[in-house]
Amino acid sequence: MSINITKTVSVSTAALALMGGFMTAGTAAADSVIRWMHVEQVPSTIALWTQIAKEFEAKHPGVKIELQFLENQAFKAKLPTLLQSKDAPAMYYTWGGGVLQAQSVTGALRPIDATLDADGAVWRKSINPSAVEGLSFDGKVWAAPSKSGLVSFYYNKELFQKAGIDASKIGTWDDFLATVKTLKQAGITPIAGGGRDKWPLHFYWSYLAMREAGQKGFADAKAGQNDGFAAPAFAKAGEDLAALGKLEPFQNGYLGATWNDALAAFGDGRAAMILSFENTPATQATNSTTRKGLADDNIGRFPFPVVKGGPGVITDSFGGLNGWAVTKNAPPETEEFLRYMGSLDVQKQLAKETQIMPVTKGASEAISRPLLKEVAEALAKETWHQNFLDQDLGPNVGAIVNDVSTEIVSGGEKPADAAQQIEDAYSLERK
């Protein structure tokens, strides 16, 4: 990618943010115009997307692709109105979950199954099944998967070695609690926590709920069956989290600490572990006191443990899942462009140059950073991908999960009462 292209796109993007206009990959008149709305802010990524769009145009005369940029909050505010207007984009960025499902029932979108299953379902077969399933509702696929994410434990190898801990032996929640105790006995703060932001602590409850309830139990709860989220498995998840809280595993003052503070604590070596996103090797460095943080070879990763007797398995994953939704009046070439975006060569290029977690089988080999490659390989083997709960269950329920998770771990909420609060909130969303 040349510097000139990047500068041009950067200027265009800034202008688009102010004008809400479109940036066209080509300039000639077209028979079909695919208007592509997104929230990307990294100029180099937009430059690569523009290049990919031009390559598609060259292979499809008469088709032009226009990119529209909107800032994250403006995107979320403007999209509902756009989807019901003649100015709706052909395709747009989605976080999936309950928001996408709600959009799917309005008639504003069209499913992409026909293109996924064309030519012997070659496109569908090329994508990790969990990514397709995660963007499916009522038996139809409502967005083309574009990238995935994974929340895992990251740990400081030197501190683990100092405490005599072998991370490969942490397989169950009991093993994890024992690890916390061992670190404390060695005078090491076990976990970096961002309690002020609350959502970093909901990762624990969410994962424990997945482990205690399993995929079917989680689906049943969403459907309002078997007491919903007030079922015993979800109360048990809270009990597991409360057991962790009683060990006082986080740094002093964690309830007043932001997520960036937690990353700094981990990057500075002031805590041995952090439950975090796949980009942790980069973000811990930028948030550390030195702006260098831990070296990659001093950072290890392990999956969230299972719980004994629970149906959840180690390959059931929790993290983001993004895709491109297609509106009902989009040009017929839109799905073909998305198929091109999801092709192995293009996904490899995106993985290599933007470090996304690709959803196309085999594309992860283009990732060079070892920890990122490890995450990509784990995602390729996952058996269930659970999207973030503020997306999957909606922002209102997600906020309740955040609140009760923080209360449980700090000893301010009984697990069964917390589970009932989540059920009460989600029961309103089901209606």
> Has residue 16 got a pLDDT over 50?
no
Q: Comparing C-alpha atoms, which of 191, 74, 203 is closest to residue 149?
A: 203
Q: Are 181 and 248 in contact (CB under 8 A)?
A: no
The shares of helix, strand and coil residues in the chain, as percent rounded to the nearest 5, are: 55, 15, 30
Q: What is the DSSP letter of 114?
A: H
Q: Are 64 and 28 in contact (CB under 8 A)?
A: yes
Does the domain at 152-318+393-430 match CATH 3.40.190.10? Answer given as yes
> Has residue 355 got a pLDDT over 90?
no
pLDDT tens for 42-94 read 888 999 999 999 999 999 999 999 999 888 888 988 999 999 999 999 999 99
Q: Comparing C-alpha atoms, which of 234, 239, 204, 208 is closest to residue 222?
A: 234
Residues linked to residue 144 through DSSP beta bridges, in sequence order:
324
Q: Which pLDDT score is estimated for 30?
A: 58
Span(s) in the chain for CATH 3.40.190.10: 3-148+320-380, 152-318+393-430
Q: Which residues contact 72 (CB under 8 A, 6 or more apart)?
A: 39
Q: Which pLDDT score is estimated for 76?
A: 87
The sign of the dihedral angle between the CA atoms of 44, 47, 51, 57 is: positive
The pairing of strands 152-156 and 144-148 is: unpaired
CATH of domain 3-148+320-380: 3.40.190.10
> Has residue 409 got a pLDDT over 50?
yes
The CA angle 105-111-116, to the nearest 5 degrees, is 160
Phi, psi of 392 (to 5 degrees): -70, -45
pLDDT tens for 202-231 read 999 999 999 999 999 999 999 999 999 999
**Average pLDDT score over residue span 18-33:** 55
Q: Confidence band (pLDDT; 50, 70, 90) for 429?
A: confident
Q: Which pLDDT score is estimated for 69?
A: 87
Q: Where are the alpha helices (DSSP H) in 323-369?
A: 333-341, 344-354
